[in-house]
Structure 1
Amino acid sequence: MAETIYDNLTQLGTKSDLPNTPDEAVLETVPNPHPGTLYLVRFTSPEFTSLCPITGQPDFAHIVIDYVPEDSLVESKSLKLFLGSFRNHGAFHEDCTIAIAQRLVDAMEPRWLRIGAYWYPRGGIPIDVFWQTDEPPAGLWLPDQGVPTYRGRG
């Protein structure tokens, strides 16, 4: 059988256990089929979970990752497994958010990336964390992330 650009993927199409830690997770990439084209890729993880590093209690967030690919794309199953690896990882909201963004930047070297992490309240205070690599590229259609600020039940 002829070799393809997807032969290096180790997780797609197979049973893959959730990594025990984010450090153990493997972010896989594939070549961008449209290099040089300005377009946005969005991943949304509305049920992200990590642990408070002090109490061990679960923390929950709605995470939105937007990026403009350059030469590679992140493979979505590897991203799902990477995000799931935070389930048993103790870190503050800010640390989790920036760690996710930096791993993605390191793995695929996008033209531009931003992350919005909308954390649900603990102790009565919701925390939202935002980061981006730089200004968005000129001419990029950049829709709102669509996550309202926390308003409680009212």
Structure 2
Amino acid sequence: MGLRHLLAPVVDEYSDPNAWNSDEHFPIKLALALAAAALALAAAQRAQKRPTKPKEGVLGEKCDAPETYSPDVLFPIPRTRGRRLLGLADGAVPFEGEDVWNCYEVSWLDHRGRPRRGAVELRIPCVSPNVVESKSLKLYLNSLNFKRFASTDEALSTIRRDVASVVGCLASELSARLCEDQPPMKGWTCVDDVCEDDVPESMLRRPDASLLKTTGDVVTERLCSHNLRTLCPVTGQPDWGTLLIEYEGPRIDHASLFCYIISLRTETGFHENAVERVTLDIDRCCRPAKLRVTGRFLRRGGVDINPIRSIRFGAATGLAQAFAPGQ
């Protein structure tokens, strides 16, 4: 039984303010004051005994992908937190080594505003005082999606500098390099490098099927792009994939197809919805005799989804023999 319960009858009896005016009630007032102090002290002691959970940055929080360059989202986690559990003294380790991070969802804009993507390998020395929290790194890399860089080297230098400042090492001690992640695409024509025009940012903000153009020549082609980016309607985070287009009909202008694909970068929808939109837009604007569209998306939680949609192509069975980067 707590003090509050024991003192309740006394508090009720003397709840009238006029009952406290005489000195004869001083002992009661003193007892109540002491009881209140005891309750406050007990609450403070309980709070001190409750362990404080270390802040984990954005881990466990729902966060939308940043749309502007945001190095401040990177969050450090001290290595000492895990090493003390191993009995290692702060700042002294009996080994050498590095942490190799493979980042498959790195994309930025080049000097013309055209989206570029690649897999970046980060090598962080194990003697750095911190590691970078993985979700914060993902959000940081997402924040580069609409930032222009004069060159690929400038983009990599920026990543190297920002990550090094968080893990606590010199930029020269941390490696950030673009590694080859393009899967074999024999028999497919990639449209990602055919556009030579400047791309205004407004083109990247709204799906625009009117960008699709044909030349009139009837051809049979297999086209692909590794620049498919849409937004998950649940998490607001980008989904990345390779788009495979097989068709027979008026030749689709490759640069116009690339511009159409990058116009989907802020489109919200599940993987299936994205592939269905592309299928319908190409069918309406380009009028192919046969069409099949496949989306090969990067895996999430060990699962990758690969929607296939066809129109006048035959049964939509059999996965196209091509893979997305990272698959």
Provide the TM-score with structure 2 as the length reference. 0.35
Partner of 2:37: none
Distance 1:25 1:50 in 2: 19
Matched residue SS, 1:78: helix
The residue that corresponds to 2:200 in the other structure is 17
Q: Which protein, 1 or 2, shows the higher relative CO under an 8 Å CA cutoff with sep ≥ 6?
A: 1
Matches of 2:229 and 2:256 in 1, distance apart? 16
1:117 has 2:295 as partner: yes
Mapped pair 1:55 → 2:235: yes
Q: Percent identity?
A: 24
Q: What is the CA-CA distance between 1:145 and the residue it aligns to?
A: 3.2
SS of residue in 2 equivalent to 1:146: coil
- Distance in 2, matches of 1:101 and 1:90, equals 16
Match of 2:222 in 1: 42
Number of aligned residue pairs: give it.
Answer: 127
Q: What is the distance in 2 between the residues matched to 1:22 and 1:112?
A: 23
Q: CA deviation at 1:13?
A: 6.3
Q: How far apart are residue 91 of structure 1 and its match?
A: 1.0
Read off the aligned partner of 1:21 and give its amino acid letter.
R
Cα separation, 1, equivalents of 2:325 and 2:258: 25
- Describe the shift of the 1:14–1:146 C-alpha distance in structure 2 as closer, same or farther (beyond 3 A): same
Report SS of the residue matched to 1:106: helix
Once the two structures are superposed, the pairs formed by residues 142-153 of structure 1 within 5 Å of their partners are 145-148=320-323
Q: Which residue of 2 aligns with 1:84?
A: 262
Spell out structure 1 runs of 4+ moving beyond 4 A: 148-152
* Alpha-carbon contact 1:25-1:81 (below 8 Å) kept: no
Report the more deviating stretch, 21-30 or 115-124: 21-30
Is the alpha carbon distance of 1:111 and 1:61 closer, same or farther for their aligned partners in structure 2, counting shifts above 3 Å?
Answer: same
Q: SS at the partner of 2:207?
A: coil
CA RMSD of aligned residues (A): 2.6
Aligned residue in 2 for 1:30 = 215
Residues 75 and 135 of structure 1: CA distance in aligned 2, closer, same or farther (over 3 Å):
closer
Give the Å deviation of 1:78. Answer: 1.3
Aligned partner of residue 31 in structure 1, secondary structure: strand
Give the structure with higher Rg (CA). 2
